[in-house]
Structure 1
Amino acid sequence: MSTMKSVRTGGAGTIEVVDVERPVPGPRDALVRIRACGICGTDVTFLHLGGMPARAHLGGDLVPVPLGHEPAGEVVEVGAEVSGLAPGDRVVVNPQAAPTGIIGCGGRFGGMSEYLLIENAEVGRSVAVFPDTVPFDVASLNEPLAVSLHAVNRSGAGPGDKVVVFGAGPIGLGAAIWLKLRGVEHVVVADVIPSRLEKALAVGADAVVDSAEEDVIARLTALHGESANALGQPRPGTDLFIDAAGAPAVFDTVVRSAKWGAKLVMVAVQKKGEVDLGGMLRSELTLIASQGYPTEIFEVTPELVAHQERFAKLISHRVPFAEASRAFELALTPGAAEKVVVTLDD
């Protein structure tokens, strides 16, 4: 039996690198050698929990979770019934297409492994091929960029809109890039970490707001002009808010900032807080939820190829697989890293 190394949750706040059986592809499967895999906030959530409840008895004992749902790698073996894929192809993966559960999110397999089995491998559904001009670490951004693109698509943002994105992590910065690529007139990014605001400017934001130090409403008014809510009370002229932070303070700020007819897209996992429904009513604020990527997972791939240098700026740390524990420590430490990608080289 051939084995491989794979990362899974250990105790609360820790990972385990374990030896597991290397998958053998069936006639409709492909085996991918993973070359890079990003760490996501969902991984961090599983780490805080120390696993996830067993599906057979939700709320019961925690079971380990194979981690990693942002993989990129190269095909090493394909089943006899697989078409459109060949050994040597470089691919990104749709973790939600796995029939045995979402890859890295409670499914049978995790992408933070030396090899990943792609069940029922199909180009355009479970994998997409990308050229060798794109480094594997940059290609591993495909999945989070699909989350960002879905949020922007849900927003309906147009060229004349004035937008603010709260949260300069990978999802928020990805959203800022997509907004500018579709020609949105003015994009502001707000965060509490100065280095992240610098990164926002580097990827194309028109302005930034340090929400720990600045009056956000006053700053948005200066940038987007003055408008009003449904009662005529003064508000910034911001048309669209994207919450990629999930902090209750963001929602409060949006409600206090929203002009008549403004929209809020909620893409971050929300922390507990109270919602000022009266404030929403006074602005007729439209709340739009954005979850995952129903169609966007491979729509982003050609754009990632075309604008790879811009998207590469989202990566703050590249950590070798042998130091996976350090990579997850970085991801677990607030403010220590923006986007951590684990690399698996020859």
Structure 2
Amino acid sequence: MKAAIYNGQLDIVVAELDTPECGPRDVLLRTLHAGICGSDVKVYRHGPEGHQILRGSEFGHEVVAEVAEVGSEVTGLRVGERVYPYPLSVKGDPGRAGCFGGFSEFILVPNCQVGEQVFKVSDKISTPVAAMIEPFTVAHRAVRRTRPQAGEKAFVFGAGTIGIGAAVALKSFGVSEVLVADVSDFRLEKAAGLGFHTCNPERQDPAQRAAEVFGEVHSLMGSAPDVDIYVEAAGPDALIGTIQSMAKPGSRIAAVAVHSRPVPVNMLQLTYGEQELIGPGGYRPEDVRDVMKIMESGSFDLGSIITHVYGIDRIVEAIEKAGDIGSALHVAIGYRSI
């Protein structure tokens, strides 16, 4: 089988490996579609620090696959069924969540149980959209941790796959209006197409734009946009400080983007501004189930954010394209025609 191997900064190769053998308690999956995560772009450009991707290993973790072989002791699965491999347990090792072999033609799932290592995918979800379950669960978990309430207002920084996923999750929890910020007009057009307000910080002051959309409140900390929830899914080190400076008292800030080094936090604003800074912590099975329900509903045209699909032999080109925020949003590797 063909498999992409991560060897370090600017060093990814496609190798020919033996197809794994399926034991009696195992399931062998054939990859259908595998998304390129922002973390894949970062480790390609800068190295693996801060990310769960190991040098010299198969990698990729945003996957939808079909069952190719079922071990004799495994129940509840049939050859040909589509499944979502759950990264935290698909290999029995959470440390391999970012490198379980999503960019390989086949994935062996040891000791496989439905609802633990894999989740069945509804026929109502297209294969390309199903490959976004993983990043959407990251976003959903972050939003869930902010305890969103119906009628609240939210501001998402970052219009990549996770930022869009966060905006969608906020609406699914009943948040009334969502503003999405990004420096890419291409990505903002995609966000606007899904019904979200937009802001380009290179041309618009985020605080002023938020005040235009949501109105203002006044407190001991001065005037602030009337925003209840912030989601930081963009990544610049200074962004948490920017959000803190504009956040009203009682606001909750979910920090989703992965930073490989410490970033400043204004403790005075955190204390006197009654701000909450929240770490999402990945995802849980409940997030998988909720995301699948959103995708099944068809409430959002999620396929519209998939901009490019490449074959596995062009994975380096695909990763470079995924890092081009001016012309790409969700980029994936496709193994079979859809």
Q: Do they superpose with TM above 0.5? A: yes
Alignment of 1:4-43 (within 5 A): 4-43=1-40
Q: Which amino acid aligns with 1:139?
A: A
Tell me if structure 2 keeps the 8 A contact 1:50–1:64. no
**Residue 9 of structure 1 aligns to a residue in which SS?**
strand
Say yes or no: does 1:149 pair with 2:140.
Answer: yes
Change (3 A) 1:132 1:297: closer
Alpha-carbon offset, residue 274 of structure 1: 2.0
The match for 2:45 among 45, 48, 60 is 48
1:110 pairs, out of 93, 101, 117, with 101
CA distance in 2, matches of 1:110, 1:340: 17
1:244 match: 233
The aligned runs of 1:161-310 (5 Å cut-off) are 161-205=152-196, 207-229=197-219, 231-270=220-259, 272-295=262-285, 296-307=287-298, 310=301
Query: In structure 2, the residue corresponding to 1:92 is in which secondary structure?
Result: strand
Q: Report percent identity of matched pairs.
A: 35
Greater shift after overlay, 208-217 or 333-342?
A: 333-342
1:63 to 33, 55, 62: 55
Partner amino acid, structure 2, of 1:234: S
3-state secondary structure, aligned to 1:208? strand
Q: Is the CA contact (8 Å cut-off) linking 2:186 and 2:325 kept in structure 1?
A: no
Query: Any conservation in 1 of the 2:186–2:328 contact (CA below 8 Å)?
Result: no
Runs (5+) with no aligned partner, structure 1: 56-61
Residue of structure 2 aligned with 1:321, choices 312, 321, 324: 312
Task: Report the CA distance between 1:287 and its aligned residue.
Answer: 0.9
From the superposition, tell whether residues 158 and 22 of structure 1 become closer, same or farther in structure 2 (CA, over 3 Å).
Answer: same
C-alpha separation between the residues in 2 aligned to 1:309 and 1:177? 8
CA distance in 1, matches of 2:225, 2:93: 48
Amino acid at match of 2:332: V
Tell me, in whole angstroms, the C-alpha distance in 2 between the residues paired with 1:51 and 1:285.
Answer: 32
CA distance in 1, matches of 2:167, 2:57: 31
Does residue 85 in structure 1 map to residue 80 in structure 2? no
SS at match of 1:342: strand
Aligned equivalents of 2:306, 2:7: Cα separation in 1: 26
Instruction: Report if aligned partners of 1:69, 1:105 keep a CA contact under 8 Å in 2.
Output: yes
Question: 2:57 and 2:38 mapped to 1: Cα distance?
Answer: 14
Unmatched segments (≥5 aa) in structure 2: none
Q: Is the 8 A contact 1:65 1:104 kept in 2?
A: no
Q: Secondary structure at the match of 1:146?
A: helix
Shift of 1:42: 2.0
Q: Which amino acid aligns with 1:77?
A: E
With normalisation by structure 1, the TM-score equals: 0.89
Change (3 A) 1:101 1:23: farther
Alpha-carbon separation, structure 2, partners of 1:324 and 1:318: 10
- Once the two structures are superposed, what CA deviation does each residue of 1:107-160 show, in whole Å capped at 9, x if it has no partner? xx4111111111111111111112344332211111111111101111111121
Would the aligned equivalents of 2:187 and 2:326 in 1 still touch at CA under 8 Å?
no
Shift of 1:200: 0.9
* 2:87 pairs with 1:95: yes
Q: Measured at CA, do residues 281 and 330 of structure 1 come closer, stay the same or move farther in structure 2, by a change above 3 Å?
A: same
The secondary structure found in structure 1 opposite 2:305 is coil
Quote how far apart the aligned CAs of 1:309 are.
Answer: 5.7
Taking structure 2 as the reference length, the TM-score comes to: 0.91
Aligned match of 1:337 in 317, 328, 332? 328
Q: 1:52 and 1:242, CA in 2 relative to 1: closer, same or farther beyond 3 A?
A: closer
Q: Contact 1:34/1:116 (CA < 8 Å) preserved in 2?
A: yes
**How many residues end up aligned between the 2 structures?**
332
Contact 2:238 2:264 (C-alpha < 8 Å) held by counterparts: no
2: CA distance between counterparts of 1:167 and 1:128? 28
- Between the aligned partners of 2:264 and 2:41, the Cα distance in structure 1 is 25
Equivalent position SS for 2:140: helix
Greater RCO between the two (CA within 8 Å, min separation 6)?
Answer: 2
Q: CA deviation at 1:193?
A: 1.0
